Amino acid sequence: MERRELLKLIATATGTALFAGSAFAYKDIAPVPLSDTLFSKDDVALLNEMAEVIIPQTDTPGAKAANVGATMAVLITDCYTPLLQKTFMKGLKAIDEVSKAQFDKHFLQLSTQQRETLFNQLDVEAKAANLANGVYQGVETGKPSQWEPGTDEPTPHYFTLLKQLTLYCFFTSKVGATKVLRYVAIPGRYDGAYPYKKGDKAWAT
């Protein structure tokens, strides 16, 4: 007789509540190793460098400190549609090509200032392209998972994808949520008139 069957019999016979097995609801989802993504360690390093231009270290940590590149690799692999993946990958190449054309250097060889110049340019270009293509307003702070295969929803400019991923991965990271934004795990109370002064940071959630 199976142990479970036996347990049920005992429970039925004794009339006590039966608590069988362990739940697989509230799934314990395992971390995704880099080897299961479309990216290498070098790719992640590159993504971190790019993200750092968008959210740099200031008096608080930046994107690199939160290792957003590693999370971006997972999200692009698992949450993106193939079309979005292609757009993003081509975008990475495009960034390097623009970099070479403009500065005669690979992106990673650019100075911090040159990186900023390049990305400011691309940001303007991306905003214009999104507007022309009918990408929804607010896409930059949207969710990287919202596209589906076969959707007729227009694809954002590749730089917007990079920016959206950077912001999402950064502000949902521990570093971003607790060291840059504010986060209290167990507030314990609600104050609907909590004092605020300019410069105070927003809550992470």
Partner 1 sequence: MANNEYDAIVIGSGISGGWAAKELTEKGLKVLMLERGQNIEHLKDYKNAHKENWDFPHRDLPTQAMKLDYPVLKRDYPLNEKTLGMWANEKENPYVEDKRFDWYRGYHVGGRSLLWGRQSYRLNKEDFEANGKEGVGVDWPIRYDDLAPWYDYVEKFAGISGNRDGLDVLPDGVYQPPMPMNIVEKDVAARVKKAFKGTRHIVHGRTSNMTESKPEQGRVHCQYRNKCWLGCPFGGYFSTQASTLPAAVKTGNLTLRPFSIVKEILFDKDKQRATGVEIIDAETNQTYVFKSKIIFVNASAFNSAWILMNSATDVWEGGLGSSSGELGHNVMDHHFRVGASADVEGYDDKYTYGRRPSGFYVPRFRNWGNDKRDYLRGFGYQGGASRSGWQKDIAELGIGANLKDAITEPGPWTIGMTAFGEMLPHHDNRIYLNKKVTDKWGLPVLAMDVEIKENELKMRKDMQQDAMDMFEAAGLKNVQGWDADYAPGMGIHEMGTARMGRDPKTSVLNAHNQVWDAPNVFVTDGAAMTSASCVNPSLTYMALTARAADFAVEELKRGNL
173 touches partner 1 by CB under 8 A: yes
Query: 3-class DSSP state for residue 112?
Result: helix
Query: 3-class DSSP state for residue 35?
Result: helix
Find the binder of partner 1 among 38, 49, 56, 96 (CB under 8 A). Answer: 56
Q: How many residues lie near partner 1 (CB under 8 A)?
A: 89
Reference 118, options 95, 145, 139; nearest CA is 95
Reference 80, options 38, 45, 35, 133; nearest CA is 38
| Token couple for 5 | 């069957």
Question: Where do we find the tokens 């608590």?
Answer: 19
149 touches partner 1 by CB under 8 A: yes
- Given the rule CB under 8 A, which of 41-49, 90-98, 99-107, 145-153 is the region that contacts partner 1? 145-153
Nearer residue to partner 1 within complex by CB, 43 or 80: 80
User: From CA 81, how far away is CA 111, in angstroms rounded?
Assistant: 33
User: From CA 14, how far away is CA 23, in angstroms rounded?
Assistant: 23
Find the binder of partner 1 among 6, 8, 100, 105 (CB under 8 A). Answer: 8
58 touches partner 1 by CB under 8 A: yes
* Number of other residues whose CB lies within 10 A of the CB of residue 43: 19
Find the binder of partner 1 among 45, 79, 83, 129 (CB under 8 A). Answer: 79
169 touches partner 1 by CB under 8 A: yes
User: From CA 70, how far away is CA 66, in angstroms rounded?
Assistant: 9
Nearer residue to partner 1 within complex by CB, 19 or 42: 19
| Token couple for 132 | 């022309």
- Given the rule CB under 8 A, which of 38-46, 90-98, 112-120, 150-158 is the region that contacts partner 1? 112-120
Find the binder of partner 1 among 40, 102, 133, 141 (CB under 8 A). Answer: 141
Question: Where do we find the tokens 């054309």?
Answer: 101
25 touches partner 1 by CB under 8 A: yes
| Residues in 174-203 at the binding interface with partner 1, rule: CB under 8 A | 174, 177, 180-181, 183-203
